[in-house]
Amino acid sequence: MDTLLQLFLSSRSICTDSRKVKSGDLFFALKGANFDGNEFVLNALEKGALAAVADDPTQFANAPKGVILVDNALQALQQLARKYRDTLQIPVVALTGSNGKTTTKELVATVLAQKYKVHFTQGNLNNEIGVPLTLLSTPPDSEILIVEMGANHQGEIDALCRIANPEYGLITNIGLAHLEGFGGPEGVKKGKSEMYRYLHSQGGTIFLNISDSTLVDLVPEKSRVLTYAGNDYTIVENTTFLTLADDRNKIINTQLTGDYNKSNVVAAIFMGSYFGVAEAQVYEALENYIPTNNRSQQIDFKGCHLIKDAYNANPSSMTSALHSLIHTVKSPKVVILGDMLELGDFSQEEHQKVLDLVCSQPDIEAVMIGPRFGAFKDTYTAKFYNSVQEAYPNINWKAWQGKTVLLKGSRGIALEKLLEE
């Protein structure tokens, strides 16, 4: 592994897609459901890769020049990432949670960047491949590293922590996400709280929102805990954008939507304070942050006020978004909701709960997309479509001009395609 580390340090960057290889890259031949990176090793070398890490002994038994044969390319990538992480003498902060982890990551990075050179997870590179790539893309002159960790089954967060070895960790919340893989709500708690247990075992520090009793109950005894209270901040305004006031009535005008983002903002305030960012800089950074990538975005679209929150959805985040719409947005309102995936045996019950909530509101026009919602089309008064493709020609944006439209669904439903011309 020392040899591989030296090779990495002399490379341009890590690449796992042979189509994107550039001269000087270190290529890892990873496997997926529909591909085997070993088949593209020679192509990567022809494009100028410094070397290629492969794990197919039948193809590379004699390890031709430029090929490094290992038992498992993914494990080699993870081990290299841990080796490189150990050379970084900087704070490493890990974030996970059922909802809000990506928004919180972006907010924390924005705040800490007021004082430090921050490297943080890009996009959703938060799994067994993404976390190593995040670590290995950390510039040597970085001063703080923020690593987002996602999971859909027990044991995954612990494995990611062993790769990233964080000194600090924060769980945004525990909700009804990936119920199928985790084995139900209790499985979600056990899986997400692996971060707390890892930090406890390593003498790390837990950032804890003591206003969330679920999180408080999951902290191991005698852990090093730094606490903050989300309830110390009150919502002043939440009709268009979320505005908060602290306990001294200082106002923070964010460009986020929904009261569910309050805890994400407060986490960023606390972490900024802990790492020594001046309060004025913290508040200014939060006020200037504009969400991207289909997360809590508010835009004008064809005469409608569109709340674009179509990156992902689970029962907890869906319910929070709907409650925010119901209680803070004036009529008339429209919801375009896509199926919530990975719920397993809980799927039917949770989709029915969403329909119960939506259809109990006389001032909300509902459009439901996906077969899971569609299973109830004969029971509820709403428009149902099996797919975005089926719904697209039937969506009449002109009829909704002047209305607020919430767009929310799981990533696999791809609701953002409804906005394409």
pLDDT exceeds cutoff 80 at 421: no
What is the domain-level CATH number for residue 396? 3.90.190.20
Q: Could you tell me which residues come within 8 angstroms of residue 130 by beta carbon, excluding any fewer than 6 positions away?
A: 121, 124, 150
Instruction: Look at residue 314 and tell me if it is in a domain.
Output: yes
Structural domain count, the chain: 3
Burial 121-148 (b: 16+ CB within 10 A, else e): beeebbbbbbbbbbbbbbeeeebbbbbb
Q: What is the pLDDT of residue 59?
A: 85
Whether the Cβ atoms of residue 111 and residue 274 lie closer than 8 Å to each other: no
Instruction: Look at residue 324 and tell me if it is in a domain.
Output: yes
Domain termination site, one of 78, 102, 131:
78
Residues 94 and 20 in one domain: no
Residues 216 and 100 in one domain: yes
What is the domain-level CATH number for residue 233? 3.40.1190.10
* Confidence band of 260 (pLDDT split at 50, 70, 90): confident
Residue 359, exposed/middle/buried by CB under 10 A (0-12, 13-18, 19+)? Answer: middle
Domain that holds residue 276: 89-288
Residues 140 and 227 in one domain: yes
Three-state DSSP class for residue 376: coil
Please tell me the distance from the alpha carbon of residue 408 to that of residue 65, in angstroms, as a whole number: 50
Instruction: Look at residue 326 and tell me if it is in a domain.
Output: yes
For the chain, percent of residues with pLDDT exceeding 70: 99
pLDDT exceeds cutoff 80 at 396: yes
Backbone angles phi, psi at 25, to 5 degrees: -75, 155
Q: Higher model confidence: residue 247 or residue 226?
A: 226
Instruction: Look at residue 278 and tell me if it is in a domain.
Output: yes
Instruction: Look at residue 83 and tell me if it is in a domain.
Output: no
pLDDT in tens, 196-212: 999 999 999 999 999 99
Residues 268 and 415 in one domain: no
Q: What is the pLDDT of residue 293?
A: 67
Q: What is the pLDDT of residue 190?
A: 87
Residues 153 and 69 in one domain: no
Residues 123 and 179 in one domain: yes
Question: E strands, 213-332, where?
Answer: 224-228, 234-237, 243-245, 251-253, 297-301, 304-309
pLDDT in tens, 95-138: 999 888 889 999 999 999 999 999 999 988 999 999 999 999 99
Residues 57 and 131 in one domain: no
What is the domain-level CATH number for residue 27? 3.40.1390.10
Answer positive or negative: Cα dihedral of 172, 145, 233, 252: negative
pLDDT in tens, 312-371: 888 988 998 899 889 888 878 999 999 999 899 999 999 999 999 999 999 999 999 999
Instruction: Look at residue 84 and tell me if it is in a domain.
Output: no
pLDDT exceeds cutoff 80 at 82: yes
Using alpha carbons, select from 10, 22, 18, 66 the residue that is nearest to residue 38. 18
Mean pLDDT of 25-37: 93
Residues 126 and 63 in one domain: no
Domain termination site, one of 259, 288, 317:
288
C-alpha distances in Å from residue 239, one per residue of 296, 319, 338, 357:
13, 17, 24, 20
Residues 126 and 243 in one domain: yes
Residues 192 and 325 in one domain: no
Q: What is the pLDDT of residue 294?
A: 64
Using omega within 30 degrees of 0 as the cis cutoff, is the peptide bond preceding 332 cis? yes
pLDDT in tens, 50-76: 999 999 998 887 777 899 999 999 999
Three-state DSSP class for residue 145: strand
Q: Higher model confidence: residue 308 or residue 257?
A: 308
Residues 378 and 234 in one domain: no
Domain termination site, one of 33, 53, 78:
78
Residues 131 and 262 in one domain: yes
Q: Higher model confidence: residue 376 or residue 153?
A: 376
